[in-house]
Chains A and B, each alone.
Chain A
Amino acid sequence: AQKVTQAQTEISVVEKEDVTLDCVYETRDTTYYLFWYKQPPSGELVFLIRRNSFDEQNEISGRYSWNFQKSTSSFNFTITASQVVDSAVYFCALSGPTGGGNKLTFGTGTQLKVEL
């Protein structure tokens, strides 16, 4: 069975602060994929990033960066110099190999509030 844990329910920061959202996963698959999605107040899930289990390179995209560590089964997400527009619920998700349908198992989400 697959499981994703996002222990942080809610985080509040002041604009321009850096913030890290934690994600820990469990899976028995040797091939798997990890994702982060953003859900703004409008409700639509927005895809942010996909990583596969064979690629542990960290990635940076603008103010976003991701730290994937298989040894600790973690896939953490950092926003640098946060902005009010970053306020949203962020979900970490996990899927198995393509042959298994790639259905996503989501964590419970972290509500990020960025204040002026």
Chain B
Amino acid sequence: DTGVSQDPRHKITKRGQNVTFRCDPISEHNRLYWYRQTLGQGPEFLTYFQNEAQLEKSRLLSDRFSAERPKGSFSTLEIQRTEQGDSAMYLCASSPLGGSSYNEQFFGPGTRLTVL
């Protein structure tokens, strides 16, 4: 059973460019979450999906950020017109809705974004 995967693992971009990250959750996990982690801090919630529906977005998710999960499987997180303040680790997690592991979130390795 494979875990959560994220691509790319590292991304360096120039300010003003658009970037897109991909997350592949554990198969059959209904819920998918995006978090952002800056240096020395804990992860902060950005948004989550239940199947293909985006059910909640944090106020941290400005209008430059958009996330999709079109078929209820993988998800993408796009940041438009990147700013230096967007530099962080972007973490994806997935969770089943039932079973012995319900409510447990399994995290991927993250995508580290550096905006120059």
Distance between Cα atoms of A87 and B109 in the complex (Å): 18
What are 11 A-B pairs with beta-carbon distances under 8 A?
Answer: A4-B42, A33-B103, A43-B112, A45-B43, A45-B91, A91-B42, A98-B97, A103-B33, A103-B45, A103-B48, A104-B35
- Residue contact B42 to A47, C-beta cutoff 8 Å: no
Chain A residues with a Cβ closer than 8 Å to the other chain, count: 24
- Residue contact A106 to B43, C-beta cutoff 8 Å: yes
Tally of A-B Cβ pairs under 8 angstroms: 60
Give the B-binding residues of A (Cβ under 8 A). Answer: 4, 33, 35, 37, 42-47, 50, 91, 93, 95, 98, 101-109
- Residue contact A43 to B109, C-beta cutoff 8 Å: yes
Least CB separation from A49: chain B residue: B104
Instruction: Name the interface size band of chain B.
Output: 20 to 34
- Residue contact A108 to B48, C-beta cutoff 8 Å: no
